[in-house]
Structure formats: structure tokens, C-alpha cells
Chain A
Amino acid sequence: MRRRHLLGAGLAIVVAGMAGNAMAQSEIKIGEINSYSLLPAFTEPYRKGWQLAVEEINAAGGINGKKLVVISKDDGGKPADATTAANELVSSEKVAMLAGTFLSNIGLAVSDFANQKKVFFLAAEPLTDAITWSKGNRYTFRLRPSNYMQAAMLVEEAAKLPAKRWATIAPNYEYGQSAVAVFKKLMSEKRPDIQWVDEQWPPQGKIDAGPVVQAVASANPEAILNVTFGADLVKLVREGNTRGLFKGRSVVSFLTGEPEYLDPLKDETPEGWIVTGYPWYDIKTPDHDKFLKAYQAKFNDYPRLGSIVGYQTIKAAAAILAKANSTDPEKLIAATEGLSMPSPFGEITFRKIDHQSTLGAFVGKTALKDGKGVMVNSVYRKGADYLPSDAEVEKLRPKD
């Protein structure tokens, strides 16, 4: 009796294996990695975004007739675990390309892995400039507007302010440091008359907001640049509001207009900050409407910026795979360089020169509406307009 069961089970495995093989030929796999367990607030909407994209792509007939499958792995927020996951996806799952990642250091680790193993990698969210410039490589492309681009967009507005005395508050790691450095450089170019009177470097995730707010206030700046986000931002805003730090001062803030960071502030949202972000409620273009409707219909929730990034990452991957009509990494690279495609924010292009996409961001001001934080007067800034000249980029990026 038992033997017969075993036989049956064996047969089932063989049949399933054959079916799997048959399936595999009509499938294209993408390996996706992100910090799902460490940063669920950002990666959950991101996951919904790419799930929507997969559904749409397969409903429209897949990629050149093949079904698109995304295999997703968690990296736990650790670069070493991300490399393990990348290895599994490439070696065991035989994916056609890698995509995803949120944290800059994980993006860099996977990009270096991709370069070593000659695998195509589409970085979704990491912001560091290094991934396309100083540590760029031919196998890595990046979707989201970089640190430099966001800084350039903010500087354009900040330079119009009359303020001459500036202070900065940024988390003490690579992201915060390079955001401040780029902002200072671009700002001082446009406005040689301004002074930098104080800088605060709270540890990421561990801001002791009261003392930081006091210290900034005592330097008496006319304007403040903020780079903190997430829970640190909440604490900073609360202490700043109570202690009157933002009263009569202009504030320019990275990423704060993204729903991920703005929504937790609820009725304590400070008004009039100049921010980059994603005012999904305020974008009236056909491309975005279509995305918004589909997203809300599927998930009964509003999209965050992560949703856009996740959605567009897989849409871009599909466009690349369709154009290359192959899973050979070299052909994928050739297909991606200079490739233009639609996105919910309008058409974007993956630049040949540094593999950065020209996806832009919205710049606007924060405001309070019905006890919630929103972005008002927001304008979409195209990424292409906020990148340095080709000559400069060539100096920044190592030759392949």
C-alpha cells in the first residue's frame, strides 16, 4: 500500500516536472529583491505597484507571447542577504534579469554582483548618485530620480528664497551626507551670497529631536534644509512645531511630499515647506488617471510613491525584454540604452550615457487640508532637465 503511494507520488513529481519544463519555455522570469521585512511601510505599496504591472502585462498577452513571472525575495535590509537572494534568483531560478532594491547600500551591492556575474540589473528605488556615476557599471540601470536630481529640483526653488542664512539637518549616513553636499554645492553656485550657519547630523533612525531642534534654533538660520525622513521626520516636526522652530523660517525638504512620509504627520504637517514628492490626488494626466483607477480598483487603497516605482520598474523591465526579444544580458543592455517608454508621469527614457532614467518628481509646497498633509501648487519636473551636462557625467562615471 505504502509502496504504491510512493510510486504515485514519484509519478506525480515527474509529470509536474515535465509540465514545469513546458511552462518554463513560455515564461520569462524577473528576479525582484527588496527590503520587505525591514521597511514594510515603503515596500508594501511598492509590491502592490509591481503586482498591478504584472497583471496588466499578462492580460495584454505577456512579453512577445510569453507569460511574465516575477519572483520576489526579501533582503531583510542587509546587503549580504541581498547578494544571497540575487545568487538564488540567478543560479537557481534562472531569471532573465534582477530588479528592485530600496536602500542605497543594497542597491550598490546588487549592482556590483550584477557586474561580476554579468546579469542585467534594474535598480528601482536607491537614490545614491554612486550607482550610476562613481560606481556605475554597464549592467546596472536606475529608474528613480537620483539624489542629485532631487537636489537640483529643490535648489531651483530654494534659490528664489530671500533667505541668506541656512542650516541643514540630515541623517548621518551616505544618503544624508551626499544630499547635503550636492544641495550646498548647487545652491552656492546659484547664490554665492548665502551662508551655512549650522549643520546637524542625527544618527539615522535615532534622532534626539529636542536637542537638535534647540541647536538649530540657536544658530538662528533664515532657512533650513531637511533630509530626515520616516520616524525621524515625525519626531523632528513634532519638536519643531512645539518649540516654534519653523515659525518665520523657510524649510526645504527632500522627499517629504511623498505620501509615505507625509501621511504619518497627519494634522501636525507643517505648512509651506518646499518638498519633492508625489501628490497623487492632484495629478490630472490621462497616463496617471489610468494608473490611479486601476490601482484603486485592484487594491481599494491610494498609491504611494513606492507604488509608482514598483509599477514602473516592472513595466520598464517588460518593455526592455520585449524590445530585446531575448534574455541575453548584452542584448538587454543594448535594448535599454536610449529606450523610451510611457509611465504614469509621462514618457521617460533610459539614458545611454549613465543608465539613469529621466523619470522626474513633483515639487510643491506642503499644506494642511481636512487635518491631513497634502502637497499644493505642485509642478512635475522632468528628470532630463536636472542632470549635469554630458561632459560632466563622463568625468563622473568610470569607463566600462
Chain B
Amino acid sequence: MAFYFVQFLTGLASAASLFLVASGLSIIFGVTRIVNFAHGAFYMLGAYVAFTLTERFSGALGFWGGIVVAALIVAAVGVLVEMVLLRRIYHAPELFQLLATFGLTLMVQDIVVLIWGPDDLLGRRAPGFRGAVDFFGQNIPSYDLFLIALSPIVLGILWLLFQRTRWGVLVRAATQDRDMVAALGVNQKWLFTSVFALGVFLAALGGALQIPRDAVHHALDLRIIVEVFVVVVIGGLGSIIGAFVAAVLVSELNAFGILIFPKISIILVFLVMAVVLIVRPWGLFGKPEAAARRTPGLTVNPWRPLTSGERLMSIGALALAAMLPLFAGNYALTVGSEIAIFVIFAASLHFLMSVGGLASFGHAAYFGLGAYGVAFLAKAAGLPMIVSLLLGPLLGLLGAAVFGFFAVQLSGVYFAMLTLAFAQIIWSIAFQWVTVTGGDNGILGVWPDNWASSPASFYWLSLGIAALVATVLRVIVFSPFGFALRATRDSPLRSEAIGINGKRVRWTAFVIAGTTAGIGGALFAYLKGSVFPDSVGISLSVDALVMVLLGGVETVSGAVIGAIVFKAANIWLVSQTDLSKLVLGGFIVLMVVAFPKGIVGTLEALRNRRRSTDTKSALATSRVEVAE
């Protein structure tokens, strides 16, 4: 009995840090609607700065002072980031801020190694909390007891702050309806900055408090960020109490899960998140989101098919790309194939995101399923390449059909998190089911048949399929189905009223996108000759998001450009420098500031502006035609 009680307390102690970080993320999201991917990076920075300060200043005052000062320093960094970077892009399309914070995260990972060196650092133990307390023969670290006591105190302080101060009232009002708060004359700028600072402070404090238990190293951020997303979503976005309850729930699941199912503790939390989202789509303590006011960008500039001139230009670009084998070497061609494959992948996500308005955080699941499908068919069944290529993506289709059914019941960030949960579940299966998938060691020897084995022919194959996919997706966008999908995106209520079955339309779109991603994955397996759980992993899903956002989420085919730019830059940088993350992150941040609507989106906006000054009237008539 004592054992279970101690196990319970241990779970509570783990919950403390999780709660601090999650509450920060939740507050930031509630007010600014930013999915702050850099939250893990601030957590890590908190740990690093606290390490330096506590090493420098010894004694109890040095330690506790160091922890608090570290959190304050990192919060100041957060303020700087908010004022310099985020303020510029609040009006960009939804999720675009995710791209900026993702770029920051990449940069911080390299920066901490540059500043603090590559070794794992062992911080000091907390003065006064070094030992353990005996509880019926079981030892409880006294620092755990301190953490257990700390989190309700923080919860209480936050509650007082939000319920009893004017600032708290404003924050709660903004969480509920920020446009209304702005209309009432509240200075949003400073409200957002202060909220961001508080959120970052909590994240950094959570990181700093870990140094007596953990090692400080440069992968801390990714370790915590996904778990924190899970906690925030289970608890309900914007709800502090929810974050607290969910942090306890997740930590206790970990603590007791390892007793019953030691091997599947990896997916337990994701299973729970999936169940919670299916049963309570807004999390345990969340409230249904008020119907979002659409950003005007989506409505003033209706999409139109390419003009014949633009069609010629696209065909010309394709013909030019097809001539690459005439002058480029094998390496360039293999890189070309990889870029073409990522064009397919990005285009599939773009279809879901910009046409369907459904941002998936787990799109790599279907890419990976396609890759594994091919690997099974080619290795286990020994089928020839052409058959595997045709049938492999069906695994992606199957996965998308099953998971999509549940996912399209939700929308917005909850949809994103449910897709993330499904992707993590598939990843864990690929990672754990060693007898079938080879686990971490993957499936080897998936090489193309002779007819496609030369880099040039594989390049033509990938390029051809990519062009086909991009064209078909465009055709779908301008088909009646595409119009129905856009209708459900722009106004769910009105589209239902005219008889469109929104969920079925979105489900179909999900299946289309999943299958298309599967095609990309199938080609990818043959390009690399092997399949690993990586191809289902979170980082690939994030890469896809970055490509779409970089290209421009409000465009019809921006993802094509986004994929080419991102993938080419990525491959080139990884080959050129060990600091590829720093440079790539910096590049992304610059792109975000320079092209707040994505590359293609910004170019289109520029062209439209020029056109409107030239021939205002002509444009007006042509717009009316298109709108009709």
C-alpha cells in the first residue's frame, strides 16, 4: 500500500514542472491564439541559465535566487521575441506564428550548444532538499515533496492574478473575445506582451526547477514540448485548472502505466488524449470555441484557375525541370527526386489546410504509412515496384479513412492535436512492433526495380508523379467538391444550410490528402531504399507544416514553392554546415518577417496591388466574374 502511495506522490512531483510549462502555454494560446512551438525552447533556456547562475552563486540564496532570476532573464528574452518578431505577424493567417516559433526553436537548439558546450550538464541539488523522507520503508525525495507543494501554490497565485486583478480581468476577457476587448479600447500590444512574458516566465521556471533532478542538455525542448501540448489539450486550451488536472493525470498515467504495461508507456498518454478529444472535443475543462471571425484575407481574394498564360508558364517550368538530367549529376538528380517527393507531401497537406481549413499536425502518419505499405509489399510479398507503388499508398488511404473519421468531428487546434495523437500512435506501432516493422532498425533493401534505378529515371518518375498530383489537386479545388469543401471551411453554418454534409466532405478531403501523402511516402521508400519510424515522426509532420506556411496557406498551390524552397535549403545547409539548425531557423524567421503571407501569398498580394492601381475597373469586373 505504501508503495502505491509513494508511486502516486512521485507522479505528482513529475506533474509540477509539466503544469508550470503547460499553464504558460495555455495562457499564451488563450489570449494571443499563438501555438507557441518555442515554449519548450524557453523551458530549456530556463534550465541552462539556472545552471549557470546556481553554479556561479552558491548557498541557499544563490540557488533559489538563481532559479527565480533565471526565469526572469528568460522572460525578458521572451518579451524581446514578442516585441521584435511576433508583433509583426499577429495579423498573418492562423498558425503562421507557429512557423516563427518553430524557427526560433531550431535556432535555440544550436545556440545553447554554442554557449554551454555539447556535454550534458549536471546541476546542483537544491539546498535543504538533498535527501529523502522515509515513508513506511519507502523513500520519497524531499525535493519531490517541495515540487508537490509548489504546484498548487502556483495554481493559487495564478487564480488570484486572474480573478482578483484588473489585468487578470482583461486577460480573461481577451481569452473569451479578443476583438471585443480591442474594440473597448484596451491596448492589446501591452496585454499580449505581458501575457507572453508571464507564459515564458512559467516555462523557464519549470525548466529551472528541473536542474536538481535532470541533466541539462540541448534536447530538453523537444522532450517536453509534445507532452505539454498533450497536457494543454487534455485540460482544455486556455484553462489553467484544466492544465493542472491534465498534468496530474498524465504524470500519474506514466507512474502507474509502467507498472502495468512497461512497454507501451510511450503511447499511453496519446491514447488518452485521443479518447478525451473524441469524447470531449474541447478538453476536460475547455469551452467550445466561439465561431471564429474569419480573417479578411480569406474572403476578399477569391481563388481563380490559372489563366492560359500562367498554364503555359507552369508547363514551361515543368519542361525545364524535366531537362535537369541533361546537365546535372547523380547527386543533384537524387536531391531533385527528394524535392519532388516533398512537393507531393506538402501539396497533400496544403490541400487539407488551405482548401479544407484543417491544419493537421500529424500528416506524416499517412506519408509513413505509404512508405511502410511499399516496404511490406516489396519485402514481405516480393511484389514488383510498379505494383507496390500503386498499392502501397492504399495503407495511407486506410489510415486516413479510419483516423480521419474521428478527426473531422473536431476543428481548429483540437483537430490538429487529435491528428498529432493518431500520428504518435502509428509512430509507436512502427517503433515497437519489432517483428513486423523492424522497430527502430527499420526495413532495409527497398530499392527500385532496374527500370527506375538510375537517378535520372527515378527523377523523371518522381517529377511526373509530383506534377500529376499537383494538377489533380488543383482540379479538385475547382471542382464542385472543391467548392463544397471551401464552403464548409468559410462558413460551416451556411454550407450546412444549403445541404452540404460538412463532415462527409471534410472526411473525403482527409482521405484524399492522406492517400496523396501516401503516394509521396511510397516514392520516398524507394528513393531511400529503407523505411524507418522517422518517416512517421513529429519532425516530418512539422516540416510539412513549415513548407505549407512558407509557401502561403491562402494560396492554391503555394505549397509547391514552399516545399522546393524549404527542402532545397534544408538539404544544402545540412550538407554545408553543422549549424544547419541555427541557419535554417534564422532563415525561417527572416522569411516570416519578409513574407508574412508566405512566399507565394506575398507575391500574389504584391501583384494584385500593382494591378489594382493600374486597372482598377478591369480588375473589379474580372473579380465579379470569378466570384460568380
A residues near B (Cβ < 8 Å) are 36-38, 40-41, 44, 73-76, 78-81, 83-85, 87-88, 91-92, 104-105, 108-109, 112-113, 115-116, 128, 130, 135, 172-175, 177, 199-203, 205-206, 208-212, 214-215, 217-218, 230-231, 234-235, 238-239, 242-244, 263-266, 268
Contacts and interface: CB of A to CB of B under 8 A. Distances in A.
30 contacts: A37-B110, A38-B219, A40-B113, A75-B574, A83-B528, A83-B530, A84-B574, A91-B329, A105-B440, A105-B441, A105-B442, A112-B530, A116-B529, A172-B266, A177-B439, A202-B265, A206-B223, A208-B251, A208-B258, A210-B141, A214-B7, A215-B7, A215-B259, A234-B120, A235-B213, A235-B214, A242-B131, A242-B132, A243-B138, A264-B215
B238 to A, nearest CB: 27
Given A84-B575, A211-B259, A244-B139, 8 more contacts: A76-B580, A92-B329, A104-B441, A108-B444, A202-B258, A205-B219, A208-B265, A212-B258
Given A87-B331, A211-B7, A268-B122, A105 B532 contact: yes
A214 B528 contact: no
B334 interface: yes
Contacts of A83: 528-530
A239 to B, nearest CB: 7
B119 to A, nearest CB: 5
B138 A214 contact: yes
B258 A87 contact: no
B467 interface: no
Count chain B CB atoms within 10 A of each CB in A37, A73, A113 and give the residue with the most.
A37
A91 B459 CA distance: 15
B215 A231 contact: yes
Contact of A174 (B11, B434, B444): B434
A379 B232 CA distance: 51
B431 interface: yes
B542 interface: no
Nearest to B210: A235
B6 A109 contact: no
A75 B432 CA distance: 23
A200 B529 contact: no
B529 A85 contact: no
Interface string B201-237: 0000000000011110111000100000000000000
Interface string B18-52: 00000000000000000000000000000000000
Nearest to A81: B574
B535 A80 contact: yes
Contacts of A266: 122
B215 A235 contact: yes
Contacts of A264: 119-122, 215
A74 B440 CA distance: 20
Interface in B523-538: 524, 528-530, 532, 534-535
B534 A80 contact: yes
Nearest to A113: B529
Nearest to B263: A201
A218 B130 CA distance: 22
A87 B6 CA distance: 53
Contacts of A209: 213
B439 A174 contact: yes
Count chain B CB atoms within 10 A of each CB in A38, A79, A209, A210 and give the residue with the most.
A210
A268 B215 CA distance: 12
The 4 closest A-B pairs by CB, nearest first: A40-B118, A234-B215, A210-B10, A91-B330
Given A40-B118, A41-B120, A264-B215, A79 B132 contact: no
Contacts of A112: 444-445, 529-530
A37 B441 contact: no
B159 interface: no
Contacts of B445: 112, 115-116
A90 to B, nearest CB: 8
Contacts of A263: 119
A207 to B, nearest CB: 10
A78 B571 CA distance: 12
Contacts of A211: 7, 10-11, 14, 254-256, 258-259
A208 B529 contact: no
Contacts of B132: 242-244
A130 B130 CA distance: 43
Nearest to B453: A116
Count chain B CB atoms within 10 A of each CB in A211, A230, A234, A244 and give the residue with the most.
A211
B335 interface: yes
A91 B263 CA distance: 42
Contact of B262 (A36, A74, A109, A201): A201
Nearest to A208: B254
